[in-house]
Amino acid sequence: MLKEEEQTEGRSRRSSKRVLIVEDEWFLATMLEEMLAELGHTVFAVASKLKQGLELAETGEFDFAILDLSLNGELSHPIAAVLENRGVPYVIATGYTTPGAQGPRTAPTLSKPYGIEDLQRVLPKARGEL
């Protein structure tokens, strides 16, 4: 049994994951931060531009990422490729419905608009646990 200080709303600190958010819309990024916190996770960083997302993906210490497919008109595929090379799972958040509009591999998709239930549904697919 876990000690009381090791539990947070029924989750152990070990199940709490650090998340990289790459989203160019401030409101959506803020909403996503709040939903992740409600699910017991910590936001490692938020990037709104491709270059910033690439730098964080290459050097950051986090458990998984949520990538907006289109960042101010630039596709986040290079970030997804870095994450794949590092073995870091990710989810693609998109409002596009076109088949093949994901990252370089078939990643779980979080269709916009989404809610906390949708986020909770795709996270296990991205991480293989939760």
Structural domains of the chain, ranges and CATH numbers in brackets: 12-127 (3.40.50.2300)
pLDDT at site 107 = 80
Q: What is the pLDDT of residue 84?
A: 92
For residue 4, the model assigns a pLDDT of: 35
Instruction: For residues 128 and 61, give the distance between their C-alpha atoms in angstroms, rounded to a whole number.
Output: 18
Sign of CA dihedral 52, 55, 57, 63: negative
Mean per-residue pLDDT pooled into runs of 10, the chain (130 residues): 39 71 96 96 97 97 94 94 94 74 66 91 65
pTM of the model: 0.81
Q: What is the pLDDT at residue 15?
A: 73
Return the SS3 of 46.
strand
Give the three-state DSSP class for 104. coil
